Amino acid sequence: MTQSVVVQVGQCGNQIGCCFWDLALREHAAVNQKGIYDEAISSFFRNVDTRVAGDGGSISRGKICSLKARAVLIDMEEGVVNEILQGPLRDVFDSKQLITDISGSGNNWAVGHKVFGRLYQEQILEKLRKSAEHCDCLQCFFVIHSMGGGTGSGLGTFLLKVLEDEFPEVYRFVTSVYPSSEDDVITSPYNSILAMKELNEHADCVLPIDNQSLFDIISKIDLVVNSRKLDTTVKPKSLVTSSVGALKKQHKKPFDAMNNIVANLLLNLTSSARFEGSLNMDLNEISMNLVPFPQLHYLVSSLTPLYTLADVNIPPRRLDQMFSDAFSKDYQLIRADPKHNLYLACALMVRGNVQISDLRRNIERLKPSLKFVSWNQEGWKTSLCSVPPVGHSHSLLALANNTCVKPTFMELKGRFMRLYKKKAHLHHYLQVEGMEESCFTEAVSSLSALIQEYNQLEATESVPVPDLPRLSVA
């Protein structure tokens, strides 16, 4: 089995990362009753004998001694990381795997990317190499960051290039939180577009998320939880937003509920690689199946169910409802409507007590209402993992490579252009060494080219092109 390393960058990245580790521990504790350090746990955690000084303490099998997250925490301000290190999760992190500064990046991509990138390049490399050395077989780096600020956006994308150069064989999966249109950081469009160029060029796979969608999902859940229906009660642990059973007892921060959704996304994404099932799906299969052309690697995700009701017997209709919901625009983690746009590829990752016939039945049922590109009419990738998430009997993660991301990107480009035309706030960026106007124009071109690719796909679909004639043999 392989290992993955999480690199959490900036305030957003670290807060989400913290929720992720909390829920990961909860999940493994639920599955691994005997406290034996097994391969599933080793995918994200090291087992360390804390009595041994230095690096010699790694234990590869046997009872769990002390679990350390395979993580590198980076922030150019100390506040968030310090809070993590003083909180209930402090023992989960290796103090040597942190990089912090005090001044912050001032919501400026250029400061994060050029200034701090240069300053901390050696340290970053060193921490990454260390974490790689602790792995038997490192398969994937998960980078978590936001696009709208300075550190996550700038330094987070700087290290993508470092990862690509230093570990070319290891996958780079990036979870990026995009700024909503009501974002309070004025320069977030600049930061996002500059970061997107890096994502286009150096990420294997990007899972875009936006805060507004997460917020809407929470509102939906609150409606159900607070409604006074006497015959239906929600199982607290099952809420996709909950921390019940985890180390952090309550939602201390307003974003905790939203961050838990993203944490659950990452857990479900890796579940079939960590746990057994009748149809396994490893991380390298994600990009193999969902990325038909290298540049088109943005995957829209949706998680269902958002909660489980307390009734024990789930009739098959509920199971089918789970599949239907996954394609509804209300369940996507980014503002997008895949159902009414063009699919290039789709993956359904199912956990729990679901069998192949349930999967097939639902694919047959939903297929007619979905538009797939002509050369991938039956482009479904499926996986069945036997272990359900905590609090659920089954769950579904749908990943779509779909042209529905285009409107999001176009809107972002629009916001960028409105600022750029007036040269608003540009001087903050240009005064950073290494930054020129060409950085901006190149970044916009990169995004425009990407949008154009999606346009082309949609264009070819609206005008049916005759199939290339088959080879004829004598």
Partner 1 sequence: MSIVTVQLGQCGNQIGFEVFDTLFSDSHSSQGLCSKRENEAYRASCKERFFSEEENGVPIARAVLVDMEPKVINQTLSKAARSGRWKYGQHAYFCQKQGSGNNWAYGYSVHGPKHKESILDLIQKEVEKCDSLSGFFIIMSMAGGTGSGIGAFVTQNLQDQYSNSLKMNQIIWPYRTGEVIVQNYNSILTLSHLYRSSDALLVHENDAVHKICAKLMKIRQISFSDMNQVLAHQLGSVFQPTYSAEGSPHYRRNPLDGFKDPALYTSWLKPVDAFNVWKTQRAFSKYEKSATLVSNSQFLVKPLDMIVGKAWNMFASKAYIHQYTKFGIEEEDFLDSFTLLEQVVASYCNL
Q: How far apart are CA 408 and CA 337, in angstroms?
A: 11
Closer residue to partner 1, CB minimum distance, 19 or 140: 140
Residue type at 197 in one-letter notation? K
Give Rg (Cα) of the chain.
Answer: 22
Out of 36, 39, 249, 434, the only residue in the binding site for partner 1 (CB under 8 A) is: 39
The reply on whether position 122 binds partner 1 by CB under 8 A is no
Q: How far is the CB of 456 from partner 1 (least distance, A)?
A: 11
Residues 270-289 that bind partner 1 (CB under 8 A): 276, 278-280, 282, 284-285, 287-289
Helix (H) or strand (E) holding 156: helix 156-166
What the block records as the tokens of 452 is 């154009």
Query: Interface residues for partner 1 in 134-153 (CB under 8 A)?
Result: 136-137, 139
- Residue 417 engages partner 1 in binding (rule: CB under 8 A): no
The one among 294, 310, 311, 417 contacting partner 1 by CB under 8 A:
294
Burial 232-252 (b: 16+ CB within 10 A, else e): eebbebbbbbbbebbbbeebe
| Minimum distance from residue 462 beta carbon to partner 1 (Å) | 16
Q: Which stretch binds partner 1 (CB under 8 A): 14-22, 145-153, 209-217, 370-378?
A: 370-378
- Residue span binding partner 1 (CB under 8 A) among the ranges 118-126, 253-261, 292-300, 414-422: 292-300
Give the closest residue to 31 by CA, choosing from 397, 395, 390, 392.
Answer: 390
Quick check: 312 binds partner 1 (CB under 8 A)? no
Using the rule CB under 8 A, is 36 a contact of partner 1? no
Fill in the per-residue mask, 321 to 360: x = in contact with partner 1 (CB under 8 A), - = not in contact: -----------------------xx---------xxxx-x
- Interaction between residue 467 and partner 1 (CB under 8 A): yes
Kindly tell me which of 231 and 364 has the beta carbon lying closer to partner 1. 364
Residue 471 interacting with partner 1 (CB under 8 A): yes
Task: Tell me how crowded residue 219 is: count the other CB atoms within 10 A of its CB.
Answer: 9
Least Å distance between CB 356 and partner 1? 5
Nearest to 351 by CA among 378, 321, 383: 383
Among 20, 170, 192, which residue's Cα sits nearest to residue 112? 192
Buried b (16+ CB within 10 A) or exposed e, 17-31: bbbbbbbbbbbbbee
53 interacts with partner 1 by CB under 8 A: no
- The Cα–Cα gap between 298 and 131 comes to 27
Number of residues that bind partner 1 (CB under 8 A): 47
Site for partner 1 (CB under 8 A): which residue of 121, 180, 324, 382?
382
Closest to 155 in 3D by CA, of 183, 123, 185, 132: 123
Find the shortest distance in angstroms from Cβ 171 to partner 1: 10
The region that residue 116 occupies, defined by phi over 0 for left and psi between -120 and 50 for alpha, beta otherwise, is alpha
Measured at the alpha carbon of residue 176, what is the angle toward residues 92 and 159, in degrees to the nearest 5? 70
Element (H, E) at 343: strand 342-352
Interface with partner 1, residue 363, by CB under 8 A: yes
Under rule CB under 8 A, residue 2 binds partner 1: yes
Residue 58 near partner 1 by CB under 8 A: no
When asked if residue 252 is in the footprint of partner 1 (CB under 8 A), the reply is: no
DSSP reduced 3-state for 373: coil
Binding site for partner 1 (CB under 8 A): 1-2, 39, 136-137, 139, 276, 278-280, 282, 284-285, 287-294, 344-345, 355-358, 360, 363-364, 367, 374-382, 384, 467-468, 470-473
